Structure 1
Amino acid sequence: MNRLVLFFLFPFLFVCSEGEAKGDVYVVVVGVSGYQEIPSLVLPEKDAKAIAALYKLQTKHVILITGKYATKAVLLKSLKDQFSRAKEDDMVVFAFSGHGYADGICPYDMPAKGGKGITYREIQSILKQSRASRKVLFLDACFSGGIRGNASGIHSHAVNTPDVLLFLSSRTGEASIESPFMANGVFTTYLLRGLRGGADADKNRKITAKELFRYVSRKVGEKTDGKQHPVMWGKFEDDTVLFDWNRR
């Protein structure tokens, strides 16, 4: 569950592929830097606050949970409660920055030995229960690619939850890197820059899934000297608009 100290989540607003905003957005953003039992990190709470701030430009339904408040019980309840409010035309977003392990993510009270955090199976179960037609998961955690099993590439249809887009900070066997010399982790830094316009290759003020993946994966790979490879995965169209600045 260690995370390299060198460099590290993710947000965006999902709209229909034609670019027309549809429904509302319900967001839960979590960042844990200091843990109860396992080693601490530096930047996840800053990552979470930056992501939450971006989403607040587009929706009032944003829950931000950081530090000691991000226990397993609180996170699971917050996800269930927030996502249960969403209707069919809405989108739900879960963004997490912190420690991860092969089968899940580490809440604040992650046991050092003999226990488990929040498993990917638990997260997918909550997503399945939501009525929202669009579901987005951003994980900036070591081994976050484990949620996709043995799948690889920008697309995979192995996900058993329909209409889910996952943007993961690293492949299954990789650490997500952070640096004390950066305001945010590597993945978060370029995710935010991409969503703010850096990924807008055609300059139409709409950031698509394909544009964002190309931008973030290239920048993270360059910054980490090829040690970290973000993965975008799930059931979605390449031209799906993830953030539309025209709707502000």
Structure 2
Amino acid sequence: MQWAFLVGINEYNDKNYAKLNYCIDDVRALGALLEQVGYVPVCLHDRLNLRDPRFPDKKNILAELDMLLKQVKDNDLLFIYFACHGCRTENDKPILIAADTRKIHVETTGISVQDDLEPRIRQSQAQQKILMLDACFMGQGRGGDQQDPMAFLRRVNAMASGYEVIAASSENQESLESSGLKHSIFCHFVLQGLAGAADLGQNIIMLSSLKSYVLDGIAEYTVRLSLEQEPQGRSTGNLGDFILVDYEKHPRPKLDAISAETSVSVDEVVN
């Protein structure tokens, strides 16, 4: 079995965290695509009713993840994706911001990669595990200190053991979102890659080919549009390469039916 746990958060109770534009669209499109190629998706986003158990506050995120992990078996693949704000605490812990996270108590009200996600991923019975983070930074950390998004990624990668990480981040999140794509640029290339662009002619999408396609695609895209900051991504892990999508078992997904137009002009980039 292939399982996908997807979290997308546009709006936050704490107005210290600015509204994002396409996190919900990202995870809904990704969930629809993955379902077409055989995954069982669990999708949490803040367009759901506050009382829905999949509304992405901290307790729901962890409860839904725990429920999914109880179903995962030892030959399964686990795919986890977060599209939201991110930060580091004063003691260097990477935190993902839930809908109900309070900045003044971010370490206890946010989703700690180290304390909340890492133990669950490592203890999961899944044979193959991948964590994708599209974590957006507004440039201000606790106490007004400047946040370094690459330090966030390095810290996440340093903790990764027994699973793979693909992450993209920017100090100014708006440069990584496009009104033309109707997705973050990171998610756009993930969707394109899984839909077939990362197929190296073998009718499968390998983890390594998706990583290369996404990171190279973001780099080329931002250079072409003369965006100020370079895309930033890292990958790590010790599981070796593995198949994410097998087109011999499932037809290629119809991306045009579940995603926005893929063409974009410079003027359409949100900035």
TM range, smaller chain: 0.7 to 0.9
For residue 208 of structure 1, the aligned residue among 198, 206, 209 is 206
Deviation at 1:180, TM superposition (A): 2.6
- State TM-score, norm by structure 1: 0.78
- Runs (4+) of structure 1 exceeding 4 A deviation are 173-176
Q: Which residue of 2 aligns with 1:120?
A: 113
Deviation at 1:135, TM superposition (A): 1.3
* Aligned pairs for 1:1-248 within 5 A: 24-37=1-14, 38-59=17-38, 61-67=40-46, 69-102=55-88, 103-116=94-107, 117-121=110-114, 122-142=116-136, 143=149, 146=152, 148-149=154-155, 158-159=158-159, 161-162=161-162, 164-170=163-169, 174-176=171-173, 177-201=176-200, 203-225=201-223, 227-238=230-241, 240-248=242-250
Contact 1:159 1:234 in 2 (8 A): no
Deviation at 1:79, TM superposition (A): 0.8
Higher relative contact order (CA 8 A, sep 6+): 1
Q: Which residue of 2 aligns with 1:8?
A: none
Letter in 1 for 2:247: W
Q: Which has the larger radius of gyration?
A: 2
Cα pair distance change 1:147/1:218, threshold 3 Å: closer
Cα pair distance change 1:43/1:150, threshold 3 Å: closer
Contact 2:7 2:82 in 1 (8 A): yes
Give the SS at the match of 1:247.
coil
Q: CA RMSD in A?
A: 2.1
Deviations 1:121-171 (A, max 9, x none): 1100111232122111111113387254286xxxxxx54532x1111123x
Give the SS at the match of 1:33.
coil
Give the SS at the match of 1:231.
strand
Give the SS at the match of 1:181.
coil
Contact 1:127 1:161 in 2 (8 A): no
Structure 2 regions of 5+ residues with no counterpart?
89-93, 137-148, 224-228, 251-271
Give the SS at the match of 1:113.
helix
Contact 1:95 1:138 in 2 (8 A): yes
Structure 1 regions of 5+ residues with no counterpart?
1-23, 152-157
Contact 1:31 1:44 in 2 (8 A): yes
Deviation at 1:178, TM superposition (A): 1.2
Contact 1:144 1:168 in 2 (8 A): no
Contact 1:43 1:178 in 2 (8 A): yes
Cα pair distance change 1:187/1:46, threshold 3 Å: same
Aligned length: 214
Cα pair distance change 1:141/1:131, threshold 3 Å: same
Contact 1:33 1:40 in 2 (8 A): yes
More helix by share: 2
Partners of 2:9 and 2:156 in 1: how far apart?
27
Cα pair distance change 1:147/1:78, threshold 3 Å: farther
Partners of 1:120 and 1:230 in 2: how far apart?
17
